[in-house]
């Protein structure tokens, strides 16, 4: 059996119970009669107070115990007179498992998030990131749970691929070619795979192949973009959730996307009230009640054309002028959510020229069956579409957007051999973690962020 965590100890705590606590010292303070150690092991948001009496023989060894020291504390559970906690441990002894010098970077004081990004290997020990990554874990598990309940199959799509699903060309090349060797010119036919290969930007295209056999599938894995963007919303490596559903139209895709968000918001609110209270207090974030309100909200729907009309007729001054044929900016999305509809919305039927080649052309010949789910506070959080299942129309769109049909002949086979209406969406996993935790910078919700000009770990 594994040693009990502090959370497990407190869950079954009884006065007089003997316990062993394995944890790190968050802080130490002394009085005339005893010393108080705030101990944390990451199993929950708070700490457990361990009281070491001066009469104990081991008290003299506390001089070597600093913030960050790893200890084993043995003692007895007793009711705590301290505010904000029900139990504490009256220590009968302790053992230093891992000592910590006084130059430990995480002393008991406030640290900026920018500073913590410089010590990524230590920042999970802070209250903020301890909470962030527990919630990240819950969101991931609840996404899997949601799709399992809906009868979806989890498909592991390739990380190394030859296709650019987005058609943007911002991909990392994978090579074993000795490019540093003087005088050598790159030749993909001589490389490991005998062809151009890249880190994937999306598992969607391969996911569509499995939707044509298993009907309901989803991918959940790392994706990569070689986009030179140093912003608070962009990463070079991030995780994507991409369901794909056979026999589905745009309405089905939209409903599935919002149902997933509702499930995640509800479960985080139920499982992490302390963490949500922490984010609300220190980062002016959402409370559990805010998440529950979102989970029970109605999703309004507006066409892109009507959204542009609403923006154009508003008295609000935008940095970017809204006009038909241009993508909506974050300021437009937030205005629609927060000031017009006052809640989550889905914008549908975008101009074909600003969307990917695989999206189904509408009857008007100008728009495609695409949708974005927008939420107050950030704007777009999910993007998806009904896919073009008609072979002639798909080939025409590919040629119009300079996507080689020959290079994606296997993708065209899906329309040739037993095609069916289908659709799906993509959810940037870090985006939903960022939204729930109210972290302003996406680099603060992924363990080891990958950004332009920076890779150390």
pLDDT tens sequence across 232-288: 888 999 999 999 999 999 999 999 999 999 999 999 999 999 999 999 999 999 999
CB 366 within 8 A of CB 325: no
The structure tokens 């542009």 sit at: 308
pLDDT at 110: 85
pLDDT at 191: 86
On the question of pLDDT at 128 being above 90, the answer is: yes
pLDDT at 426: 97
pLDDT at 170: 85
pLDDT tens profile 154-194: 999 999 998 877 666 689 999 888 766 666 778 888 889 99
**Which CATH class name applies to 6-98?**
mainly beta
% of the chain residues with pLDDT over 70: 98
The structure tokens 């592991």 sit at: 156
What average pLDDT does range 184-208 have in this prediction? 90
| E strand segments, 340-388 | 345-351, 367-375, 379-386
On the question of pLDDT at 1 being above 80, the answer is: no
pLDDT at 107: 86
Task: Give the pairing of strands 87-98 and 48-53.
Answer: parallel
For the residues of 15-74, what is the DSSP string, one character each? TT-EEEEEEEEEEEEE-SSEEEEEEE-SSSSS-EEEEEETTSGGGGGGGG--TT-EEEEE
pLDDT at 182: 62
On the question of pLDDT at 439 being above 90, the answer is: yes
What average pLDDT does range 64-87 have in this prediction? 92
pLDDT at 179: 62
Q: How far apart are CA 351 and CA 174, in angstroms?
A: 34
Angle (nearest 5°) at CA 247 between 224 and 238: 15
Kindly list the domain boundaries of the chain, sorted by start residue.
Answer: 6-98, 123-169+202-444
pLDDT tens profile 79-112: 998 887 899 999 999 999 999 999 999 988 889 9
% of the chain residues with pLDDT over 90: 86
CB 240 within 8 A of CB 221: yes
**CATH code, residues 123-169+202-444:** 3.30.930.10
Distances (CA, A) of 211 to 25, 166, 243, 332, 397: 50, 19, 9, 34, 22
Q: How far apart are CA 7 and CA 4, in angstroms?
A: 8
């Amino acid at each position: 059996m594994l040693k009990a965590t502090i959370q497990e100890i407190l869950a079954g705590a009884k006065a007089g119970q003997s316990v062993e606590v394995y944890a790190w010292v968050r802080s130490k303070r002394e009085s005339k009669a005893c010393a108080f150690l705030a101990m944390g092991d990451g199993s929950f948001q708070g700490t457990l107070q361990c009281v070491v009496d001066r009469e104990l023989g081991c008290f003299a060894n506390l001089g070597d115990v600093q913030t960050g020291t790893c200890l084993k504390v043995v003692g007895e559970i007793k009711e705590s007179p301290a505010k904000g906690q029900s139990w504490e441990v009256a220590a009968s002894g302790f053992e230093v498992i891992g000592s910590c010098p006084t130059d430990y970077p995480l002393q008991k004081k406030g640290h900026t998030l920018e500073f913590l990004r410089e010590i990524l290997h230590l920042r999970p020990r802070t209250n903020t990131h301890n909470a962030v990554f527990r919630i990240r874990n819950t969101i991931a598990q609840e996404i899997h749970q949601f799709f399992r309940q809906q009868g979806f199959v989890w498909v592991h799509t390739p990380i190394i691929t030859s296709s650019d699903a987005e058609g943007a060309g911002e991909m990392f090349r994978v090579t074993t070619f000795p490019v540093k060797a003087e005088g050598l010119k790159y030749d993909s036919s001589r490389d490991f795979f005998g062809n151009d290969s890249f880190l994937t930007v999306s598992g969607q295209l391969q996911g569509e192949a499995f939707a044509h056999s298993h009907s309901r599938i989803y991918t959940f894995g790392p994706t990569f973009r070689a986009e030179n963007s140093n912003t608070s919303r962009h990463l070079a490596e991030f995780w994507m959730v991409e369901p794909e559903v056979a026999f589905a139209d745009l309405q089905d895709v939209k409903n599935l996307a919002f149902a997933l968000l509702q499930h995640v918001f509800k479960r985080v609110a139920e499982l992490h009230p302390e963490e949500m209270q922490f984010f609300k207090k220190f980062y002016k974030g959402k409370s559990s009640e805010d998440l529950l309100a979102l989970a029970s909200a109605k999703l309004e729907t507006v066409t892109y054309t009507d959204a542009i009309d609403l923006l154009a007729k508003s008295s609000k001054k935008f940095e970017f002028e809204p006009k038909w044929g241009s993508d909506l900016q974050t300021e437009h999305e937030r205005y629609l959510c927060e000031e017009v509809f006052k809640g989550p919305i889905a914008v549908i039927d975008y101009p074909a020229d600003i969307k990917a080649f695989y999206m189904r052309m509408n009857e008007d010949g100008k728009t495609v069956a695409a949708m974005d789910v927008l939420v107050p506070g950030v704007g777009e959080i999910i993007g998806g579409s009904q896919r073009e299942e008609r072979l002639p129309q798909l080939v025409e769109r590919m040629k119009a957007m300079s996507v080689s049909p020959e290079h994606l002949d296997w993708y065209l086979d899906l329309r040739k051999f037993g095609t069916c209406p289908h659709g799906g969406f993509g959810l940037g996993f870090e985006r939903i973690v960022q939204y729930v935790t109210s972290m302003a910078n996406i680099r603060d919700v992924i363990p080891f962020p990958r950004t332009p000009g920076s890779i150390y770990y």
